[in-house]
Structure 1
């Protein structure tokens, strides 16, 4: 294997490890804050982080396989699986957000203020752009469509972070009870679009030939 590619593979794998660790923290903090405050947006954001953990772990597995110099056929197979996991992740989180947001709008349920939720959202506004930049950078260096797709997955999380934070602030300071579920629902169109693209990329990969 080319030494330059090997170096970038190891760095990309390390980024995924950092991604997994931080997303686990996001999941724990945001779900506790979301269920405590009754915020549909925080809960949806936390579940999106669960999916990101699965997606990042699958991509780590794919990168690790190439680093260990497994057969090209197996690398391609892992690429295909990674794309399908990313696509399924977008679909699952979109389905939940849609259901939960509509339910909260119908019930006209106003979430309570969550200082803990706001803190983790603000931290994520700093962390996620860094992860996006490194994923996209190494995706380009390695000519890896799945790494670039994963950077888009993290961008969805960043977009959702901004929407959720705006919704919580609007409920708190403007008394817009509907802002929380609407903020969550705004993520759905973009997430479905990126999920469809990941699915299409996965379908294009063939691993019938061996190394």
Structure 2
């Protein structure tokens, strides 16, 4: 591969990481706003998760920039620190969602509407699918295990979007309040999983616990 082609691919990888960060910020703000307004815990939890993903995304951006500058894919202390912060935030989110979900089930809380959950999750599914596709394409072209691992780990965001969509559609058509809480518990499960994987990556040179998924 010529240097010009490699540089172009690395610039695209950087652009994809920046898009991921910006998208998660926007998604987080909108999801939390409508989650609070409509009293839907699954959408609120989804929004908080998006903000945690921003921290992870900054670590990925740093990694890609490092690959571009010196070709080094070894994890450095900045990335490890970002992963530990990310893992801690995911664990806090997990505890908050579990407690809130069971409380909402106990009092039979019902959201005002889950319309925005359907809209946001649908947009997220399309966006994450495209990001996974292009990240994997760039990673394969560069033969970069780190970028391919990032593409594979982005699948978790896709799974969360499907959980939100199912919970939102389920409530819209049935009006059963605990469906929103069950969706929140699904998001809590993946948050816990992401937190555990973040600490595993921070404490080793493992690129992604979902490499083979």
Consecutive unaligned residues of structure 1, counting only runs of 5 or more, are 206-211
Q: Which residue is equivalent to 2:23?
A: 22
Consecutive unaligned residues of structure 2, counting only runs of 5 or more, are 206-213
Q: Which residue is equivalent to 1:208?
A: none
The more displaced of 155-164 and 91-100 is 91-100
Would you say the 8 A contact 1:83–1:202 is kept in 2?
yes
How far is 1:172 from its partner?
Answer: 2.0
Q: Which residue is equivalent to 1:33?
A: 34
Q: C-alpha separation between the residues in 2 aligned to 1:131 and 1:85?
A: 24
Taking a change above 3 Å as real, the CA distance of residues 36 and 73 of structure 1, as seen in their structure-2 partners, is closer
Q: C-alpha separation between the residues in 1 aligned to 2:174 and 2:75?
A: 52
Taking a change above 3 Å as real, the CA distance of residues 139 and 76 of structure 1, as seen in their structure-2 partners, is farther
Q: C-alpha separation between the residues in 2 aligned to 1:107 and 1:47?
A: 23
Q: Which residue is equivalent to 1:122?
A: 122
Taking a change above 3 Å as real, the CA distance of residues 27 and 198 of structure 1, as seen in their structure-2 partners, is closer
Q: Which residue is equivalent to 1:209?
A: none
Taking a change above 3 Å as real, the CA distance of residues 142 and 8 of structure 1, as seen in their structure-2 partners, is farther
Taking a change above 3 Å as real, the CA distance of residues 159 and 27 of structure 1, as seen in their structure-2 partners, is same
How far is 1:109 from its partner?
Answer: 0.6
How far is 1:125 from its partner?
Answer: 1.6
Q: Which residue is equivalent to 1:42?
A: 43
Taking a change above 3 Å as real, the CA distance of residues 130 and 179 of structure 1, as seen in their structure-2 partners, is same
Taking a change above 3 Å as real, the CA distance of residues 88 and 28 of structure 1, as seen in their structure-2 partners, is same
Q: C-alpha separation between the residues in 2 aligned to 1:91 and 1:138?
A: 31
How far is 1:28 from its partner?
Answer: 1.9
TM-score (norm 2): 0.79
Q: Give runs of aligned pairs for residues 183-198 of structure 1, distance below 5 A.
A: 183-198=183-198
Would you say the 8 A contact 1:62–1:82 is kept in 2?
no
How far is 1:74 from its partner?
Answer: 8.8
Q: C-alpha separation between the residues in 2 aligned to 1:114 and 1:188?
A: 18
Q: C-alpha separation between the residues in 2 aligned to 1:9 and 1:192?
A: 31
How far is 1:189 from its partner?
Answer: 3.1
Taking a change above 3 Å as real, the CA distance of residues 116 and 171 of structure 1, as seen in their structure-2 partners, is closer
- Count of residue correspondences: 202
Would you say the 8 A contact 1:101–1:181 is kept in 2?
yes
CA deviation map 1:84-143 (0-9, x unaligned): 344335323323322322222222110011433322221112111111233344455312
